[in-house]
Amino acid sequence: MNMKTYRLIGLLPIFIIATACSPEIGSKAWCSQMDEKSKGDWTANEAGDYAKHCIFRSDD
């Protein structure tokens, strides 16, 4: 195995841990996190999800 393979194997657990720590999209914690994040740093998908889940939320 070459060095790229070892690097990929080493970074994979870090990526998995980092993504597991972020709140689920649409949750109240995620909405709060997005409120704190600069609007200029939002992606188009994040803006759409924020509008769908945080602004037009229906708590049935």
Place of tokens 């037009």: 56
Question: What's the pTM?
Answer: 0.61
In the prediction, which pLDDT does 41 show?
95
Cα separation values, 39 from 6, 43, 58, Å = 37, 9, 23
Which residues of the chain are modeled with pLDDT < 70?
20, 59-60
Measured distance CA(2)–CA(7) in Å, rounded? 9
> Which among 24, 25, 21 is positioned nearest to 47, based on CA atoms?
25
Token representation of residue 28: 């109240």
DSSP label of 53: I
In the prediction, which pLDDT does 59 show?
66
In the prediction, which pLDDT does 60 show?
54
